[in-house]
Amino acid sequence: MDTVQIPEINILPYQKNAADYNMALDEHLMSLSGTYLRFYGWEPTTLSLGRLNQHDDVDLQFCKKNGIRLIKRRSGGKAILHQHELTYAFITDAGLFPMSVRDSYRLITQPIANGLRKLSLSPEMKDAEKAKDTSSICFKEVSAYELTVGSKKIVGSAQFRRRRRFCQHGSILLDADWSLWKKIWGIPEDSQILEKRITSLKKELVNLPEIETIQQILIDEFLASFGARKKLFKLNVEDKIKLQELKRDYTWAENS
């Protein structure tokens, strides 16, 4: 199956939210019917950890002292610093996509690659996985069908599945505060290991577009890729009550 047709995609436009709200909303949309595409940011800066990820190399005390929140994702993958980025989440029925997780990654990542091309970038999306990196930093490792520019990772994604639904969410790196990254992971300040493996839109473009501009390009590409019509989605009272319940599941002791 090389193409997927989706009649309608519910769009949730960009908002900055606290970490527990962001994760709760992704999970809540999994419980609904239909396909959803949302874009969001994080306030305050947050370090999210994959469901099975070990984080012994993360300086938790530094994070606490500097107001960096911690949260566990339902998805796998490694740790991601959510600071200067545009996060996307695509939630849909697994039956619409190939059974292979890798193939579904490819189909969902393709419109993001197309969008980056509209921004005059040349993203690469490869099937082969590279050798595993031992650190907990997601962006130091490129997995199958993740996006790179000039062999440097620029988009990292992960999936989680439940019954007949799945969510793929990921980070599109707009910029990077390397000094902060190095303090969190205990990397020497003069090391260039991150800069050699990771890039951002700001690094690659002469002018960084507004988030709303990037979002609109990506929405258009998702609609075109899946032959879908657009529908704006707004949370109702029942949705908001459920979100408050789900947020409690994402409480992290080190944040207090």
Residue 95 near residue 164, CB atoms below 8 Å: yes
Q: Is 167 an active-site residue?
A: no
Asked if residue 138 is part of any domain, the answer here is yes
Residues 6+ apart with CB under 8 A from 16: 40, 41, 42, 43
Supply the pTM of this predicted model.
0.92
Other CB atoms within 10 A of residue 114 CB: 17
**79 inside domain:** yes
Does residue 139 lie in a domain region?
yes
Condensed to tens digits (0 to 9), the pLDDT of residues 67-119 reads 999 998 888 777 899 999 999 999 999 999 988 888 999 999 999 999 999 99
- Backbone region of residue 151 per phi and psi (left: phi > 0; alpha: psi in -120 to 50; beta: other values): left
Q: Residue 104: phi, psi to the nearest 5?
A: -65, -35
Distance CA 141, CA 102 (A): 16
Q: How many CB atoms lie within 10 A of CB 96?
A: 17
pLDDT digits (tens, 9 = 90+) for 17-58: 999 999 999 999 999 999 999 999 999 999 998 876 667 788
Whole-Å CA distances, 126 to 72, 151, 153, 183: 28, 10, 12, 31
Indicate which CATH number applies to the domain containing 208: 3.30.930.10
Q: Which domain holds residue 240?
A: 8-255
Average pLDDT, the chain: 90
**How many domains does the chain contain in total?**
1
Inform me whether the pLDDT recorded for 14 exceeds 90: yes
From the list 79, 113, 138, 223, the catalytic residue is 138
Strand partners, 17: 42
Asked, for residue 2, whether it belongs to a domain, the answer is no
Would you say residue 27 lies in a domain? yes
Highest mean pLDDT among 71-85, 130-144, 231-245: 231-245
pLDDT at 211: 97
The beta strand positions in the chain, using DSSP E, are 8-17, 35-42, 46-49, 69-72, 80-82, 85-93, 123-125, 147-149, 152-162, 165-173, 229-232
